[in-house]
């Protein structure tokens, strides 16, 4: 199934071509909103969500807020009927602020605090996925104190290797996530005894950026069998939460076929007689956004050519953290074909790990050249930081010929404003 790429070149009269986000020129956006700038496409978000919904009409799709939690993005999806998968009190707040129905929110994560659990119970969300016995006990205590019954699903670790990057594999025995498969039955019998809890389903999430469907098949089969065993023993298992993980094509990977993925999921849900919940993040948000950056300087040394750009690892961690490969393209391309040059695209941060792309063959770059870093909509802005006291990139969304700012640029005053001198230092700084 071919899903649109909203970032395309439009030809000018002089034969040059310029990349647009839907109908809006990226050159224009860079001038109006500055760089570095995340640019998202509403049409792509919509289409990617609808593609999943179309092949799995009976599943509840809980968009994984960690991929990109901007309230405008989450709202776009909530308007289409999406729920949300959240992993912190902050994400819960985002989802609710963005208009996600609370009865479509699932709370996952290995380290929920008392405050976070209390917030989830007050919001009356769909389900809380439990990842350890002490967590189960604490949730029971809080529920009893509040006089409510918490709807829970146990997140099972099926010990299946997702064959993805080590840092984003979550379903192996040695990973910190979930309850070992063999302990699940014991945990459900404990849920039955605890008066503040009610079991509603079973959950898993084996990893992210999966290219092969086989690990999904293996894990979901295990989960289905467990669901049937639990049901036979009288436990209430209404839903199967299969997590997220669907991979995308960053560098020519063969994306999993969405119809085959749906078939596996539907078969598993039907066999267990359960409603399916999914938690996709990257699949929806990844290709829906790019990071727009401008070259500050080009530095040519004997060993290499560096294009030093105005975004850095604080804006976009994926390359340095996972050695992730993202396509980089010139926003404006001239009519005549030019010889390419091999460059490393690096940021201004004082670490050699601060790179965006290495060894790329691109037309010669110069100060001011605008570049588009593709597939940056997921785990881009949401993983950004203030390292080197850099202000994070701005964020805009485009829909057709319209655009709007969805995250203002902060000021240095905002950045420093939360800090203060210790009381004994107060008189040591001269008024400026
Ligand atoms: N559900 C749970 C419980 C998760 O832990 C995750 C991702 C998802 C759903 C969404 O997975 P997705 O559909 O996006 O693959 N920062 C990394 C990815 C970390 C994923 C963490 N968990 C990256 O940039 O590749």
For residue 112, is it within any domain?
yes
pLDDT value, residue 175: 80
Looking at the structure, do residues 162 and 147 belong to the same domain, yes or no? yes
Cα separations (Å) of 46 from 85, 92, 316?
18, 22, 24
Looking at the structure, do residues 359 and 303 belong to the same domain, yes or no? yes
Residues of the chain with pLDDT under 70: 1-2, 430-432
pLDDT value, residue 177: 82
For residue 47, is it within any domain?
no
pLDDT value, residue 432: 57
CB of 318 shorter than 6 A to ligand 1: yes
Q: Looking at ligand 1, which residue's alpha carbon is closest to its atom 7?
A: 208
CB of 205 shorter than 6 A to ligand 1: yes
Q: Looking at ligand 1, which residue's alpha carbon is closest to its atom 19?
A: 168
16 C-alpha to ligand 1 centroid (Å): 39
Looking at the structure, do residues 78 and 157 belong to the same domain, yes or no? yes
Report the candidate in 388, 323, 330 with the shortest Cα–Cα distance to residue 358.
323
Q: Looking at ligand 1, which residue's alpha carbon is closest to its atom 9?
A: 244
The residue whose two tokens read 């994984």 is 64
**Can you give the residue range of the structural domain that contains 354?**
7-40+286-416
For residue 427, is it within any domain?
no
pLDDT value, residue 338: 87
Report the distance separating Cα 283 and Cα 216, nearest Å: 15
Of ligand 1's listed atoms, the one at least distance from the Cα of 282 is 14
350 given a catalytic annotation: yes
Looking at the structure, do residues 300 and 358 belong to the same domain, yes or no? yes
Q: Looking at ligand 1, which residue's alpha carbon is closest to its atom 6?
A: 244
For residue 61, is it within any domain?
no
Looking at the structure, do residues 315 and 251 belong to the same domain, yes or no? no
246 C-alpha to ligand 1 centroid (Å): 9
pLDDT tens digits, 188-226: 999 999 999 999 999 999 999 999 999 999 999 999 999
Looking at the structure, do residues 265 and 365 belong to the same domain, yes or no? no
For residue 188, is it within any domain?
yes
321 C-alpha to ligand 1 centroid (Å): 14
Report the distance separating Cα 87 and Cα 110, nearest Å: 9
For residue 57, is it within any domain?
no
245 C-alpha to ligand 1 centroid (Å): 6
CB of 377 shorter than 6 A to ligand 1: no
Report the b/e string of 327-347 with b at 16+ CB within 10 A. bbbbbbbeeeeeeeeebbbbb
For residue 78, is it within any domain?
yes
Looking at the structure, do residues 260 and 189 belong to the same domain, yes or no? yes
Total domain count for the chain? 2
> Is the N-terminal amide bond of 36 cis, ω within 30° of 0?
yes
pLDDT tens digits, 4-22: 899 999 999 999 999 999 9
Point out the domain boundary residue: 253, 280, 307.
280
For residue 327, is it within any domain?
yes
């Amino acid at each position: 199934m071919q899903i649109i790429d909203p970032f395309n070149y439009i030809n000018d009269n002089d034969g040059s071509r310029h990349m647009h986000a839907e109908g809006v020129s990226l050159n224009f956006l860079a001038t109006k909103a500055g760089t570095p700038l995340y640019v998202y496409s509403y049409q792509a978000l919509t289409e990617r969500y609808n593609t999943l919904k179309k092949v799995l009409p009976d599943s509840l799709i809980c968009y994984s807020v960690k991929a990109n939690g901007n309230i405008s993005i989450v709202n776009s999806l909530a308007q289409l009927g999406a729920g949300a998968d959240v992993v912190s009190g902050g994400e819960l707040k985002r989802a609710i602020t963005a208009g996600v129905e609370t009865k479509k929110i699932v709370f996952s994560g290995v380290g929920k605090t008392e405050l976070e659990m209390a917030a989830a119970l007050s919001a009356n969300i769909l389900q809380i996925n439990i990842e350890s016995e002490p967590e189960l006990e604490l949730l029971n205590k809080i529920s009893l104190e509040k006089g409510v019954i918490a709807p829970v699903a146990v997140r099972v670790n099926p010990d299946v290797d997702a064959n993805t990057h080590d840092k984003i594999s979550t379903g192996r025995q040695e990973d910190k996530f979930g309850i070992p498969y063999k302990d699940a039955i014991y945990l459900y019998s404990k849920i039955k005894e605890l008066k503040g809890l009610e079991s509603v389903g079973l959950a898993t999430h084996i990893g992210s950026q999966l290219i092969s469907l086989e690990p999904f098949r293996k894990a979901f089969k295990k989960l289905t069998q467990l669901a049937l065993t639990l049901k036979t023993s009288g436990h209430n298992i209404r839903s199967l939460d299969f997590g997220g993980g669907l991979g995308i094509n960053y560098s020519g990977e063969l994306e999993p076929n969405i119809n085959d993925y749906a078939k596996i999921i539907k078969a598993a849900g039907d066999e267990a007689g359960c409603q399916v919940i999914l938690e996709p993040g990257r699949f929806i948000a990844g290709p829906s956004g790019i990071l727009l950056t401008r070259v500050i300087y080009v530095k040519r040394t004997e060993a290499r050519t560096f294009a030093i750009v105005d975004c850095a690892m604080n804006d976009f961690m994926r390359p340095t953290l996972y050695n992730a490969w993202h396509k980089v393209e010139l926003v404006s391309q001239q009519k005549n074909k030019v010889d390419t040059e091999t460059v490393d695209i690096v940021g201004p941060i004082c670490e050699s790990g601060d790179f965006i792309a290495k060894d790329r063959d691109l037309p010669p770059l110069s100060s001011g050249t605008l570049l588009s870093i593709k597939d940056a909509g997921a785990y881009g802005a949401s993983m950004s930081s203030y390292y080197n006291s850099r202000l994070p990139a701005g964020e805009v969304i485009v829909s057709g010929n319209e655009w709007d700012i969805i995250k203002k640029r902060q000021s240095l005053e905002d950045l420093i404003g939360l800090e203060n001198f210790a009381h004994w230092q107060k008189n040591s700084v001269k008024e400026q």
